[in-house]
Amino acid sequence: MKYYDQHLHTFLSFDSQEIFENYLLNNPAYFVATDHFDLHNPGDNFHDDIPDYEKLTQKIHELEANSPTTFFKGVEIGVVPGQEKQINDYLAQNPYDLKLLSIHQNGKFDYIDDVVLKKDKYDVAKMYFDQMSKVLGTFDNAQILTHFEYGLRRLDFTPQELEEHFEKELTQILKKVIQKEMALELNAKSFGYYQNANLYRYVIPLYKSLGGKFFTLGSDAHQSEDYQALFPEMAGLLKEFGVNFWLPSKKRPLSYRIALKLIKAGSRNFLLFYLSSIFSSSIFSGSTMSFSAASFCASLNTFSFSSLYSL
């Protein structure tokens, strides 16, 4: 099975210097950079961090001419309640193929700032999850919820504590993700630097039990060495939970524009790199494909049944 990195940064982010060309040494079939969009960002002296859309467009145009890679425009959008209109207005003028939703800060501090160490960890986590839930209710312009545990990264939480204190909040959040047909990201920084894989062990089955189907993998690289970092580990965790193959979605988060682009590019794999467990039981038990999977394949002639098998 082929995974694609759907979360990485370049010099168009305030906190990365990396150039596109270094990532492209990996010869990816598809490439999407998701640079930071954070208004009034406490992590950057309260600047409005907005990736230069013209530069991105120019760069992609230039690279496309000399590369077999298919490029998409991506962005990682940090949202603080109250900013929704400004962000939506910006996105209407500057369209992206792939939009990640992140909660990084609350207008006063970034959730990974030292300031959180002086606060009660349950208060910080409650504030963070409440903000995430609120934003999922008021902001409808993203396809993937990134690093769900960002706000816990400087705090010491066990899966048991999450279950005991925040199951209600997380259930609410995940239901909104599902209702919006967004995907849940597995983030390599959570797995590596912040050692939070165990928190995903709690959240993945919770998400699945509520009907969640879409997962993505993101390295969150800020330098090209970290491209697709920890993908085997993250894919392994999904496999543990019975997420055995990927299936691109006809609906959101696979946007129409992306689908068109891929069909134009003659792709058999279609992009979006979604991992799904929806039909795994029927496929692995050898019984007939479910109706929706069959009709999906029929509707996209180039997508063969065998390519549904993975791992």
Distance CA 47, CA 242 (A): 43
Smaller CB separation from Zn ion, 165 or 222:
222
Cβ proximity of 297 and 305 under 8 Å: yes
221 versus 272: smaller Cβ distance to Zn ion? 221
Q: Which is nearer to Zn ion, 8 or 170 (CB)?
A: 8
State the residue for tokens 């545990």: 149
* CA atoms of 300 and 41, how far apart (whole Å): 43
Of these, 69, 70, 102, 190, which contacts Zn ion (CB under 5 A)?
102
Tokens 């999850």 — which residue? 129
Shortest Cβ 164–Zn ion spacing (Å): 26
CA 247/CA 23 separation, integer angstroms: 25
**Minimum distance from CB of 104 to Zn ion (Å)?**
6
Q: How far is the CB of 189 from Zn ion (least distance, A)?
A: 8
**Cβ-defined contacts of 291-298 (< 8 Å, 24+):** 293/247, 296/247, 296/250
Residue 14 DSSP SS3 = coil
Contact map string, positions 71 to 90, toward Zn ion, x by CB under 5 A: -----x--------------
At its nearest, how many Å lie between Zn ion and the CB of residue 35? 8
CA–CA–CA angle 147, 105, 130 (5° rounding) = 75
Binder to Zn ion among 49, 97, 220, 226 (CB under 5 A)? 220
- The interface with Zn ion within residues 23-82 (CB under 5 A) comprises 76
Residue 3 or residue 14: which is nearer to Zn ion going by CB?
14
Q: Which spans of this chain sit near Zn ion (rule: CB under 5 A)? A: 76, 102, 220
